Amino acid sequence: MVYEPVLPPDTANEIAEFIQNRYVGQAAQMAAADAIEREMIKITANPALGAPGYGGPFESRRIYPFTIEVGDTSRTVEFVYRVTSRPSVVFAGFREVPPTPL
């Protein structure tokens, strides 16, 4: 079963701001947008890909990290989403994951 993707305006804005602020040029921005869209398709095809966020007020949400590679730039980002009975996947957040200190 493939779930319907739901992208609320605030999450869409987070994605748009990320792309505009991190990538220079239309080709790089389009490549980043395509990479994000591919990951959304993966999640809607298999919502169990993300890990549940235990121990907080948002336990029903899952977190799915992935890497966007455009040119020689690599950035790790994550989606926060929840699965509804509709069946749909609501993408409730998007952010860049800061690098872990060595």
**Tell me, what's the pLDDT at 55?**
63
Q: pLDDT (tens digit, 9 = 90+) per residue, 18-64?
A: 999 999 999 999 999 999 999 999 999 999 999 887 666 656 789 99
**Tell me, what's the pLDDT at 57?**
60
pLDDT at 100 over 90: no
**Tell me, what's the pLDDT at 24?**
94
Look up tokens 């779930």; give the residue.
3
pTM: 0.89
Q: Distances from the Cα of 101 to the Cαs of 44, 78, 79, 85, 98, in angstroms?
A: 32, 18, 22, 39, 9
pLDDT at 98 over 90: no
pLDDT at 101 over 90: no
Q: pLDDT (tens digit, 9 = 90+) per residue, 61-96?
A: 899 999 999 999 999 999 999 999 889 999 999 999
4-96 homologous superfamily: RelE-like (3.30.2310.20)
The structural domains of the chain, with segments of one domain joined by +, span 4-96
Give phi and psi for 6, each to the nearest 5.
-125, 120
**Tell me, what's the pLDDT at 53?**
72
